[in-house]
């Protein structure tokens, strides 16, 4: 009789693992996103970005000019007890130079002995130090990148309409990709210089394809508007485990910032960069800025939901086995 019950417990355990297999990774459309584009027509240069991640604490920070350093604004994460807290995910300076980045698998770079090492907060350094894409390219070519590796590609644009995407090449050096003969450039989570370097599920990329199709339809300076860029960001925003936490459009000529929070594309917050910098140092959490209670946002966590799902399934299986064991013990005690 004892062997029969043990056999039953084993069969139930195997059934649970077959019917509810552990979830492997994150759904393809929701992996660590971020979609970026720059588009320029006539005298307009607009830069759009969706910030997609599972962390919830997001901020905007204004840092005024200090001595020879440019003033700038950055966006990023904070109050998450995470290594990304305080790190600039994107931003623009008072010269109209801006950046954001797409996450990628790490690629090692060849060390460059004797060259200065770019600071850990190298992208914030870029904002207070440089005003044009050509200066950024020279800096990138003459610096040793932090830890001699890249785990992202950096999309940089300036007020003249010059644009570059900096990424790891196949030869251990950084590559520089420009717009070439188009009036726009898009970057998502595959390396534009080496597509084999991509986040799983992101090449081909539906966000990239959708954005290019929509930007192809913007052909005149009159149709290139903040609203048109917002529509692109809305079309490629993400839900799920790594949703779009905020979206932004920078007008690099006017130095204005249009910001949308938690996929609400009807209510932007608009800043004039020069006016905000004139007020001195400022930092605000976006949840407070948009007057949305933190109870209305996804619960903060340091683990993606996919990992949590594994734990739930394991706990469920263990619970069923425990119930069967209790039933077995009770039956034995009744008989005795």
The whole-number pLDDT of residue 111 equals 78
Mean pLDDT, 10 residues at a time, over the chain (336 residues)? 49 42 36 85 98 96 97 97 93 98 92 67 89 95 68 96 96 93 97 96 96 98 98 97 96 98 96 98 95 42 32 43 50 52
- Running DSSP on this structure, what letter comes out for residue 190? B
Tell me the CA distances in angstroms from 217 to 8, 47, 183, 213, 223, one per residue in order: 63, 16, 11, 7, 9
Work out the angle at residue 201's Cα, subtended by the Cα atoms of residues 198 and 203, and round it to the nearest 5 degrees.
55
**Whole-angstrom distance, CA of residue 37 vs CA of residue 185:** 6
Residue whose token pair is 């290139």: 224
Q: What's the maximum distance between 2 C-alpha atoms anywhere in the chain?
A: 91
Q: What is the pTM of this model?
A: 0.78
pLDDT at residue number 303:
25
Cα torsion 123, 128, 132, 138: sign:
negative
**Would you state the pLDDT for residue 92?**
98
pLDDT at 113: 74
> From the CB of residue 304, how many other CB atoms can be counted at a distance below 10 Å?
17
Per-residue pLDDT, 95: 98
* Residues in Cβ contact with 194 at an 8 Å cutoff, skipping those fewer than 6 apart: 167, 168, 169, 170, 175
Delineate the domains of the chain, giving CATH numbers in brackets.
Answer: 32-296 (3.60.60.10)
């Amino acid at each position: 009789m004892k062997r029969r019950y043990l056999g039953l417990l084993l069969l139930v355990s195997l059934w649970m693992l077959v019917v509810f297999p552990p979830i492997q990774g994150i759904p393809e459309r929701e992996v660590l996103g971020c979609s970026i584009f720059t588009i320029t027509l006539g005298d307009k240069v607009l830069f759009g970005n969706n910030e997609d991640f599972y962390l919830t604490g997001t901020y905007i920070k204004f840092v005024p000019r200090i001595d020879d350093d440019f003033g700038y604004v950055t966006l990023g994460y904070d109050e998450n007890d995470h290594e990304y807290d305080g790190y600039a995910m994107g931003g623009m300076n008072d010269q109209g130079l801006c950046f954001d980045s797409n996450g990628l698998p790490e690629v090692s770079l060849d060390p460059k002995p004797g060259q200065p090492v770019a600071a850990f907060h190298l992208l914030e350094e870029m904002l207070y130090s440089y005003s044009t894409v050509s200066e950024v390219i020279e800096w990138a070519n003459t610096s040793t990148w932090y830890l001699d590796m890249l785990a992202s590609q950096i999309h940089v644009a300036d007020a003249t309409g010059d644009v570059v995407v900096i990424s790891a090449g196949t030869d251990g050096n950084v590559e520089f990709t420009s717009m070439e003969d188009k009036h726009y450039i898009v970057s998502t989570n595959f390396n534009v210089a080496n597509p084999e370097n991509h986040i799983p599920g992101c090449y081909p990329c539906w966000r990239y394809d959708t954005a290019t199709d929509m930007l192809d339809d913007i052909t005149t300076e009159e149709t290139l508007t903040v609203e048109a860029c917002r529509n692109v960001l809305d079309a490629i925003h993400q839900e799920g485990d790594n949703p779009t936490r905020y979206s932004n459009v920078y007008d690099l000529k006017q130095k204005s910032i249009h910001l949308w929070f938690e996929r609400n594309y009807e209510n932007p917050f608009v800043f004039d960069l020069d006016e905000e910098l004139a007020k001195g140092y400022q930092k605000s959490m976006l949840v407070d800025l948009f007057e949305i209670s933190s109870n209305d946002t996804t619960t903060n966590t340091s683990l993606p939901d996919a990992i949590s799902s594994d734990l739930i399934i394991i706990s469920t299986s263990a619970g069923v086995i425990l119930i069967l064991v209790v039933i077995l013990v009770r039956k034995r005690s009744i008989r005795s």
